[in-house]
Amino acid sequence: MEHDLIARLGTLPELQAVRFLAGFWPMGHEPDVTTWLEKNHRAGTTILLPRVRHFKRSRIPGAERVEFARFEGRAELLQNRWGIGEPTGPAVPLPATGILLVPALAVSRAGTRLGHGFGYYDEIMDNHPGLLPICAVFGAQLSEDLPVEQHDRPVRVIITPEEVIRTDLDA
């Protein structure tokens, strides 16, 4: 099933010629996109991964709680307090446009995403509206409806092993 998800991810038109991708290093229950990230890195795509600067549940006025750094290989990652691999290089600003691969515990067909409750990716989407947020999840993580809070930001494309769902945010 994971193989099908990664294969479908690789066929997404937006990702065919991408030269920049901001992503995430998965936790145990999230789809393992690591080999896909490594493959794209070897092909010349700039992969940026997050590094948590502030482990606070609420936003900090005037400060971003997450910064990004270049992925230079699995061996260069250090685990943070949650066991997530983070890059060790210098912080790199996110470009104005590109792809943002977003993790989720669950996602609705409308693009509502349930994360871990810290709002890091909602903050990133707020601060970088030119990035296309894409969420890759297993079919069991897809829901018809999820609760939405004021700070929640939807994803635009959802990929499961079975389908690609494009939300109607531009309609």
Of the chain, the end-to-end C-alpha distance in Å amounts to 32
pLDDT at 121 over 80: yes
Find out whether 53 and 65 touch, Cβ atoms under 8 Å: yes
Q: Is the pLDDT of residue 28 over 60?
A: yes
Across the range 79-90, mean pLDDT stands at 89
Q: What average pLDDT score do residues 61-88 get?
A: 86
For residues 26 and 32, give the distance between their C-alpha atoms in angstroms, rounded to a whole number: 6
What does the pLDDT average to over 149-154? 85
Average pLDDT for the chain: 87
Pick from 41, 42, 50, 54: nearest CA to 100:
50
Those residues with Cβ within 8 angstroms of residue 53's Cβ, 6 or more apart along the chain or in another chain? 63, 64, 65, 66, 67
> Please, are residues 101 and 134 in contact by the beta-carbon 8 Å criterion?
yes
Answer with the residue of higher pLDDT: 54 or 149: 149
pLDDT value for 171: 43
pTM of the model: 0.88
